[in-house]
Amino acid sequence: MTTAPTRPAPALAAADALNARLGATRTEPAANPQLEALALAVTANQPVLLWGEPGIGKSAGMERLADALGVRLETVIASVHEPSDFAGLPIVGDDPATTGVPMAPPDWAVRLARTGHGLLFFDELSSAPPAVQAALLRVVLERRVGSLELPASVRIVAAANPPSSAADGWHLSPPLANRFVHLDWTHDARTVARGMAGTWPETALPAVDPARASGAAARARGVISGFLTARPGLVHHMPNDAEGRGRAWPSPRTWEMALRLLATGYASGAGREALSAALTGAVGDGAGLELLAYLENLDLPDPEKVLADPDAFALPKRGDRQLAFLIAVVAAVQGEPTRRRWEAGWAVLAKAVDAGVPDVAARAAADLAAMRDLSWTGGGGIDAFVELLQLAGALPGAR
């Protein structure tokens, strides 16, 4: 037998109405690099970890972000879960020897899989013990919860308090920390004051322009590859101290994150401060600041425009710009390998020969040669590289 719900007392009903009135707020466009960096990383579909003191507004920021995305927010308090909540609980079927033992996922994972999209928010990550952090590795990297695979469109964000202010705080394990873009979440007194008046900053999502996507991807590849060619010591560098290993540091995995963030930034016209915060949040302050200084003086032209009219292009004077740009041109051809674009790529590389720096173009030439369809004859620029490519064995069909 069920009983009908009782109505609240008049005094509580009035209090609830007052609280509802206070909860009604509005948003307005406002420059907020912190929100912009978060929105950029989420748009690029890179896992984000927000670091901030308790009560700073990380959870409220997630609610606003979910509203802006128009998706469901699934909040999971990592510190109160067991490893099996993420690895899955074994469910024995009729014939385990034949079908195996599936690992049942929790309800929040099932809801996200059923919906096909959403925002998954792991809160209090630094309060989770090492065993739970280890179980989260597969969720963050492979998007698997038990036997269930989360849809690719599900975005993952986590939040953590510094170990000094977290309840039973732990440093993040290096493998888990290296899977996130780390962003510092701070408060601005004027923003909070205006929020108390009922108006908060609007979470504006970067809009990727499909027409700029190809050029953006090629430029980003040229930048990251060119930078790491010049600074190979930064490809992988794990800090010595526990605190540093629990934050952002450079590795092949985080450089892949930086590549995707940079490409998304180029394609969406993201603000400079937001892009800087996201890049340093991926590879760490040291490597990130060097990358930003490199970007400051690079100013690469759009490789798609150059391929459309290679004769109008002038090779940059500086060697690092030359290398980054030639890599970007080849990457653009690889994204859409047609004969016309392939030949235009050789016309660009030939200018490096004319400028007396064929060694700068050698690697790009080998990559471009590898894209050759055997039905294509050489473009005008390939002749200058034939001898070099034959010696290296990088020219398909060459004798």
Q: Beta-carbon neighbour count of residue 28 at 10 Å? A: 9
State the average pLDDT over residues 72-98.
80
Task: Flag whether pLDDT at 246 surpasses 50.
Answer: yes
**What per-residue confidence (pLDDT) applies to 222?**
93
**What per-residue confidence (pLDDT) applies to 146?**
86
Q: What is the three-class DSSP state of 50? A: strand
| Contact by Cβ (8 Å): 154, 140 | no
**What per-residue confidence (pLDDT) applies to 221?**
95
What DSSP designation does 156 have?
Answer: E
The boundaries of the domain holding residue 362 are 303-392
Worst-scoring range by mean pLDDT, 4-18, 44-58, 141-155? 4-18
Parallel, antiparallel, or unpaired: how do β-strands 73-77 and 118-123 relate?
parallel
Give per-residue pLDDT as tens, 125-137: 888 888 888 889 8
Please list, in sequence order, all residues whose beta carbon lies within 8 angstroms of the beta carbon of residue 215, skipping any fewer than 6 positions away. 266, 302, 303, 304, 305, 332
Q: Does 38 reside within a domain?
A: no
Q: Does 361 reside within a domain?
A: yes
Domain boundary among 179, 205, 236: 179
Q: Which of the four pLDDT bands, split at 50, 70 and 90, describes residue 384? A: low
How many angstroms separate the CA atoms of 313 and 301, rounded?
9
Task: Flag whether pLDDT at 4 surpasses 80.
Answer: no
Give per-residue pLDDT as tens, 220-235: 999 999 999 889 999 9
Tokens at 265, concatenated: 């930034």
Q: Does 336 reside within a domain?
A: yes
Domain boundary among 144, 162, 179: 179
Instruction: Calculate the dihedral angle through the C-alpha atoms of 261, 267, 268, 270, rounding to the nearest 10 degrees.
Output: 50
Q: At what angle do helices 33-43 and 272-283 cross, to 10 degrees?
A: 60
Overall domain count for the chain:
2
State the average pLDDT over residues 269-298.
93
Q: Does 255 reside within a domain?
A: no
Q: Beta-carbon neighbour count of residue 375 at 10 Å? A: 6
Tokens at 178, concatenated: 């290296």
Residue with tokens 């400051």: 296
How many angstroms separate the CA atoms of 259 and 218, rounded?
10
Q: Which of the four pLDDT bands, split at 50, 70 and 90, describes residue 43? A: very high
Tokens at 365, concatenated: 């030439």
Domain boundary among 155, 179, 203: 179
Q: Does 174 reside within a domain?
A: yes
State the average pLDDT over residues 276-289.
96
Please list, in sequence order, all residues whose beta carbon lies within 8 angstroms of the beta carbon of residue 124, skipping any fewer than 6 positions away. 77, 78, 79, 80, 159, 160, 161, 166, 167
CATH number of the domain residue 154 falls in? 3.40.50.300
| Contact by Cβ (8 Å): 286, 248 | no
How many angstroms separate the CA atoms of 167 and 394, rounded?
58
Q: Exposed, middle or buried by CB within 10 Å (0-12, 13-18, 19+), for 44? A: buried
How many angstroms separate the CA atoms of 185 and 192, rounded?
13
Q: Which of the four pLDDT bands, split at 50, 70 and 90, describes residue 118? A: very high
| Contact by Cβ (8 Å): 365, 389 | yes
Q: Does 199 reside within a domain?
A: no
Mean pLDDT of the chain: 86
Q: Does 292 reside within a domain?
A: no
| Contact by Cβ (8 Å): 329, 371 | no
Please list, in sequence order, all residues whose beta carbon lies within 8 angstroms of the beta carbon of residue 168, skipping any fewer than 6 positions away. 79, 127
Task: Flag whether pLDDT at 289 surpasses 60.
Answer: yes
Q: Phi and psi dihedrals of 345, rounded to 5?
A: -60, -40
Q: Does 287 reside within a domain?
A: no
Residues paired with 181 in a beta bridge: 48
